[in-house]
Amino acid sequence: MQGLMMDWPLTLPSILEHAALYHPEREVVARTVEGPIHRYGYAEALARTKRLANALLALGVKPGDRVATLAWSTHRHFELYFAATGIGAVLHTINPRLHPDQVAWVANHAEDTVLLFDITFAGLAAETAPKMQTVKTLVALTERAHLPADAPAGTLVYEELLAKASPDLAWPSLDENAACGLCYTSGTTGNPKGVLYSHRSTVLHALACGLPDNFDFSAADVIMPCAQMYHANAWGTPYAAPLVGAKLVLPGRALDGRSVAELIETEAVTFVLGVPTIWVGVAEHLEQAGKTLNSVKTIAIGGSAPTAALIERIEGRLGGKVQQIWGMTETSPLGVINKPLPQHAGEDAAASLQRKLKQGRGLWGVELRVVDEAGELLPRDGKSAGRLQVKGPWVASAYFKHDGAASFTDDGWFDTGDIATIDPEGYLRLTDRAKDVIKSGGEWISTLDLEDAVCSHPAVAMAAAVGMPHPKWDERPLLLVTLRAGQSADPEALKRHVAERVAKWWVPDEVRIVEELPIGPTGKVLKRELRDRLATARPVPAE
């Protein structure tokens, strides 16, 4: 027997329609690529989105067609999030920080038909478009006056397309399981792999984001994702914000400390999200300016694990509480969120900080397990480390065109490639990426714990631990660190600092101070690139 409830598909246009009806004046604020701040309410956003949908239809976009973007987090990209998906097309957000050859490769692999690009990427579009075998139409996300001279010949202008299109549109009836978004992994090893989201998975993900023990969003919030919209749907916030009627602030391309701090302050942002490197820059700006912020309630950190020192530093300057999160492109990307349990009420500062170093607790919608090398389930004791596997309604069941099948188990789980433990309270703690773990004398050394130890030194800004070949122990750790502005430190003193905080045999053979660490397309330190550099030449230490 089946229930007698309305068959109402979970599709993305319903989110913006709801926001326009019940929160028509609640703003979407964006720092444009051209420079000025743009703001409008959800009602106007819906009208422009329907114009865009009609414009795409007039360009010949059909259900299932892949519509590609090379774009920052702006109001125009926001409109594409709903217009392309609302007519049954698939929005393919290309990471513009990929190598140009990879940009062309993912466009060809996705078989994109239309490419819309911000004016800062006009040169990249001109370089890669001739290599894109299926792209027939190019659109610059701007008005005629700002169309760059180096834009590809025949490029159409976004605002002109919207001006000619009607705001009247009845969204087509869509299957909630139809594809709506395509995002490729960063491709640090081999070619990127495509993750194909559905309307159902994306709506469920947006709903989960807002739950009280997750991000706890409401119409009273001002949400500012500093995770760009070209990667994993900016952690779902461009969908979650209108779903609850929250104000959405989009930072454009300006993610330097001063620009981010300025938007937080002027727009009274309550929730921010980004990788640790973003918050290092914001903290440094605020320290140099002698300022603190007072509107922020939550600072969500994902992409890579923050150290204890960074958590204390940014909470002191941004004023909110750090909430660590973990996820992947393959998990839409919400995986776990670090929220306290009732029994943690009244915990002291030291205990609170140690809890915050864990990635977070499992939540409804993502099941977690840790297995050993033989695939046997490991206990949730907070000590047994193994491969982290996940499954759930917003977790990929396969890669686009079924690449990378080895990442999916026979019993329906996705193998994340992370090494982790789960404790009795359900908190996940990553110890490494499987490809980054250091194995010395047959035992694992956690690079994250080494990085946390050295970053507790007041002179250290960032750190990366990598394994170096060793004739006796197979590998030994090397720590590379950057220093805070105006600070100095002795490598041997840093080594002694680490020795006081980790097991004796974990202590790195060398601590090396460098000017910078290589940062990848999603804001993470590129450890593979570090290892490649170290294998060929010794980096020149900083002065």
| Per-residue three-class SS string for 290-310 | CCCCCCCCEEEECCCCCCHHH
Question: Residue 447 and residue 458: Cα distance in Å, rounded?
Answer: 19
Of 536, 21, 422, which Cα lies nearest the Cα of 242? 21
Q: Is-catalytic flag, 292?
A: no
DSSP 131: G
Choosing from 69, 113, 128, 185, the catalytic residue is 185
Residue identified by tokens 């989105």 is 49
Choosing from 120, 134, 444, 482, the catalytic residue is 444
Q: Judging by beta carbons within 10 Å of its beta carbon (0-12, 13-18, 19+), is residue 473 exposed, middle or buried?
A: middle
Question: Residue 242 and residue 59: Cα distance in Å, rounded?
Answer: 27
Of 253, 201, 260, which Cα lies nearest the Cα of 228? 253
Q: Judging by beta carbons within 10 Å of its beta carbon (0-12, 13-18, 19+), is residue 353 exposed, middle or buried?
A: middle
Neighbours of 443 (CB within 10 A): 11
CB 439 within 8 A of CB 458: no
Of 26, 25, 33, which Cα lies nearest the Cα of 241? 26
Q: Which is it for strands 334-337 and 443-445: parallel, antiparallel or unpaired?
A: unpaired
Ramachandran sector of residue 32 (left: φ over 0; alpha: ψ -120 to 50; beta: rest): beta
Choosing from 330, 394, 413, 451, the catalytic residue is 330
β-bridge partners, 429: 421
Q: Is-catalytic flag, 444?
A: yes
Q: Is-catalytic flag, 439?
A: yes
Choosing from 425, 439, 443, 516, the catalytic residue is 439
Residue identified by tokens 């977790």 is 395
Question: Residue 282 and residue 256: Cα distance in Å, rounded?
Answer: 7
CB 363 within 8 A of CB 338: no
Q: Is-catalytic flag, 185?
A: yes
List the catalytic residues.
185, 330, 439, 444
